[in-house]
């Protein structure tokens, strides 16, 4: 199967987990109605609180046999729609006291947890007049690049700030990823100038499809996200881009086209690391 339809779900998540998950279920249903076989959700899809400590109340142990409310809701939605669903970042309980992991989860159409990825690069910035975040104060970083096999292609997983570190995507590409996932909650300050440029760069330099669902708009007084969820092909072409609201975008992933790009410009074979 060399072609499939993929969807990016764009959200404005807030502090109400139940409401956020209801929106996820509704928009995943729309994605399925439009033919998508894979739906990808942004970072913080289930919860976006105003304080860094707020997420601890919603952190889950990611056990497919005994899922918590967030993972359980994703499993139910995946089984109902018959899609693969990637939840782009949720609070996972950590063995380190006072910390959680920011973790992406992949759920099969049978509602089973297939794999998880813990965000490696943590967003610590203090821009005068702009963003002020210290993710490392409450989040323990992951340490492993993760890929996952699907019926169509191997996916490479990442989350938001990872996008600024091309060596991660090189590692995912070298591990066989043909599609990379970049769920995000990019800030307005950085997103307006860097988001699309970085996404296209990762696609072009690794000759991969990029699926990048984002948070959009104001979640609370201290957080405004850029949105502009995007699907980009291995040539760097923008196949779909979201408007400034909660919505679904869908585009075709054509692996035969990707093979053609890689044959005609075999830069991945020319790497000298």
Report, as residue numbers or ranges, the catalytic residues: 43, 119, 160
The Cα–Cα gap between 113 and 103 comes to 13
Which residues on neighbouring strands pair with residue 40, listed in sequence order? 8, 86
Determine contact, residues 156/166, Cβ cutoff 8 Å. no
The span from the first CA to the last CA of the chain, in angstroms, equals: 32
CA distances from 214 to 37, 227, 246 (A): 19, 5, 10
Q: Which residues contact 4 (CB under 8 A, 6 or more apart)?
A: 37, 38, 152, 252, 253
Pair type for strands 223-226 and 230-232? unpaired
| CA distances to 15, 66, 89, 100, 105 from 63, in Å | 23, 5, 16, 15, 11
Which two three-digit tokens encode residue 212?
Answer: 């990048």
């Amino acid at each position: 199967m060399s072609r499939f339809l993929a969807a990016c779900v764009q959200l404005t998540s807030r502090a109400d987990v139940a409401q956020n998950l209801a929106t996820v279920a509704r928009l995943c249903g729309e994605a399925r109605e439009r033919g998508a076989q894979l739906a990808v959700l942004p970072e913080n899809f289930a919860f976006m609180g105003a304080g860094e400590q707020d997420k601890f109340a919603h952190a889950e142990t990611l056990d497919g046999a005994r899922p918590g409310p967030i993972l359980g809701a994703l499993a139910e939605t995946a089984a109902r729609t018959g899609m693969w669903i990637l939840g782009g970042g949720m609070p996972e309980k950590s063995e380190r006291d006072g910390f959680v992991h920011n973790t992406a989860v992949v759920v099969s159409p049978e509602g089973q947890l297939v794999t998880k990825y813990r965000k490696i690069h943590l967003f610590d910035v203090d821009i005068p007049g702009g963003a002020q975040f210290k993710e490392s104060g409450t989040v323990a970083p992951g340490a492993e690049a993760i890929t996952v096999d699907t019926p169509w292609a191997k996916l490479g997983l990442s989350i938001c700030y990872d996008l600024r570190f091309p060596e991660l995507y090189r590692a995912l590409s070298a591990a066989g990823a043909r599609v990379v996932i970049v769920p995000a909650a990019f800030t307005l300050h950085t997103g307006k100038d860097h988001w699309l440029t970085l996404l296209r760069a990762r696609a072009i330099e690794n000759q991969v499809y990029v699926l990048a669902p984002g948070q959009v708009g104001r979640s609370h007084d201290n957080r405004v996200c850029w949105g502009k969820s995007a699907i980009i092909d291995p040539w760097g072409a923008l196949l779909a881009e979201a408007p400034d609201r909660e919505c679904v975008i869908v585009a075709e992933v054509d692996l035969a086209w990707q093979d053609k790009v890689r044959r005609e410009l075999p830069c991945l074979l020319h790497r000298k690391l």
